[in-house]
């Protein structure tokens, strides 16, 4: 299935504001993050993204937190 | 109770008038403004951007939670987006309650939850001409207006 992913802040700068992602049915948020991360330029450090699906956070207790992703 | 994401200058004192009531012995007002230094770097302004539809919904949910938790429907929150210069207000929260402890607690709850959950991002403009997205967890006191 093809998802339309809206990206903001540093992720938006890195990937563009709207990204089409082809992902298997039943895929998890973690898998989506991996797919997005694979599109980021090597060496570019981005914070761990907060993911919302249909305008609801995909984790129980969302918090804009810092888990640095580096490739 | 009222919440809004706006693109105009805030008028924080108007919010006080909006929540004040003879039944309330306490009225609190929090105003977050653009300060001149962050992380040791001179700041000249901030771009606030939002995932608009979700930001508005999340802000409303936070206000509703505050109303339920602290027992006051007299609560108004406005968050401004767009480009702000030094000293301009980015957020204003007014709360009225019969008692001061609950008013202060409700206000603190709202600002902390806004910082934690509302999808609004800040890109600072620095005096050297560069710009950078703010990491929301890197603050001196745990809160960055």
Is residue A10 scored above 60 in pLDDT?
yes
Q: Which residues of A are less than 8 Å from B123 in CB distance?
A: 9
Residue ranges of domains in chain B: 2-133
**Which residue from B53, B121, B123 is facing A55, i.e. has the nearest CB?**
B53
Confidence of residue A71 (pLDDT cuts 50, 70, 90): very low
Q: Name the DSSP letter for residue B74.
A: -
Lookup result for tokens 């929260």: B93
Assess: ipTM above 0.85: no
Task: Give pLDDT, residue B43.
Answer: 94
Q: Which residues of B are less than 8 Å from A8 in CB distance?
A: 49, 51, 119, 121
Q: Which residues of A are less than 8 Å from B51 in CB distance?
A: 6, 8, 52, 55
What lies within 8 Å, CB to CB, of B22 at 6+ separation is none
Task: Give pLDDT, residue A64.
Answer: 56
Q: Which residues of A are less than 8 Å from B116 in CB distance?
A: 62-64
Taking only the tens place, the pLDDT of each residue in A18-46 is: 999 999 998 888 889 889 999 988 888 88
Q: For residue A22, give how far its alpha carbon lies from the nearest alpha carbon of chain B (Å).
A: 22
Confidence of residue A67 (pLDDT cuts 50, 70, 90): very low
pTM: 0.87
- CB–CB of B119 and A65 under 8 A? no
Query: What is the per-residue DSSP string for B4-69?
Result: EEESS---HHHHHHHH--TT-SEEEEEEEE--SEETTEEEEEEEEEE-HHHHHHHHHHHHHHHHHH
Q: Which fold has domain B2-133?
A: Aldehyde Oxidoreductase; domain 3 (3.90.1170)
Can you tell me the distance from the alpha carbon of B127 to that of B42, in angstroms, rounded to the nearest whole number?
6
Report helix, strand or coil for B92: strand
Query: A62 or B94: whose pLDDT is higher?
Result: B94
Search chain B and give the residue with CA nearest A61: B117
pLDDT averages per 10-residue partition of chain B, 145 residues = 98 97 97 93 95 96 97 95 98 97 97 95 95 70 37
Q: Name the DSSP letter for residue B98.
A: S
């Amino acid at each position: 299935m093809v998802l339309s992913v809206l990206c903001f802040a540093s992720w938006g700068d890195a990937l563009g504001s709207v990204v089409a992602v082809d992902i298997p049915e039943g895929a998890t948020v973690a898998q989506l993050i991996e797919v997005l991360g694979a599109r980021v330029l090597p060496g570019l450090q981005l914070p761990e993204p907060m993911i919302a699906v249909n305008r609801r956070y995909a984790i129980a207790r969302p918090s804009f937190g810092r888990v640095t992703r580096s490739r | 109770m009222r919440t809004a994401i706006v693109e105009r200058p805030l008028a924080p004192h108007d919010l006080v008038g909006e929540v004040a009531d003879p039944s309330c012995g306490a009225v609190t007002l929090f105003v977050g403004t653009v300060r001149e230094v962050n992380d040791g770097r001179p700041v000249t302004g901030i771009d606030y951007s939002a995932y608009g539809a979700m930001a508005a919904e999340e802000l409303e949910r936070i206000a509703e939670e505050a109303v339920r938790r602290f027992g006051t429907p007299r609560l108004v929150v406005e968050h401004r987006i767009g480009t702000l210069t030094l000293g301009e207000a980015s957020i204003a929260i007014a709360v009225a309650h019969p008692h001061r402890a609950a008013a202060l607690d409700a206000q603190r709850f709202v600002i902390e939850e806004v910082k934690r959950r509302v999808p609004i991002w800040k890109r600072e403009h620095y005096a050297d001409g560069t710009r950078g997205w703010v990491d929301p967890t890197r603050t001196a006191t745990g809160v960055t207006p």
